Amino acid sequence: MEDSNDRERQGRAVVTSSGIVFAGRLYTCSLAIKEMWYEKARHSGEWEVQVDVRGPEMNGIHIVTPDLEPHAEHLVCRQIDGPPSVHPELSGYYEQLQQIKAHLAARKHGK
């Protein structure tokens, strides 16, 4: 008999400029960083994604999309234990984004 805590559950998460919010917790995944979801949410607004959750701790969720292989590594989201600035993966993303912005601003001004 399957334990109810081990069953997979589905729900809706919200992509925000700070991360993927589900059940009051903040998550991130490599797909969201690669496709710049957080920057898009900052400029165009938040949107919902379907997620699967396994286990009672909810320290990981999976993005559900018909276009990609279910539970592929890049769809696995990890919980962020604090503001995005303390998460190394997001910190690197934001640092690179700032470098690109500075480079584009310098090109615009002919430097």
Short-list 32, 85, 76, 73, CA closest to 54: 76
pLDDT digits (tens, 9 = 90+) for 26-82: 899 888 998 999 999 999 999 999 998 866 666 788 888 767 665 566 678 888 865
Number of domain units in the chain: 1
Other C-beta atoms lying within 10 Å of the C-beta of residue 37? 22
Residue 40: the pLDDT is 93
What's the pLDDT band for 14 if we cut at 50, 70, 90?
very high
What residue type is 19 in one-letter code? G
57: in domain: yes
Find the mean pLDDT for residues 86-96: 66
37: in domain: yes
44: in domain: yes
52: in domain: yes
95: in domain: no
Structure tokens at 111: 């430097």
Short-list 57, 54, 61, CA closest to 14: 61
110: in domain: no
Find the mean pLDDT for residues 15-32: 90
15: in domain: yes
How far is residue 65's CA from residue 54's CA, in Å, rounded to a whole number?
17
On the question of pLDDT at 86 being above 90, the answer is: no
35: in domain: yes
pTM equals 0.63
Domain that holds residue 40: 8-81
What residue type is 34 in one-letter code? K
Sign, CA dihedral 18-86-82-65, equals: positive
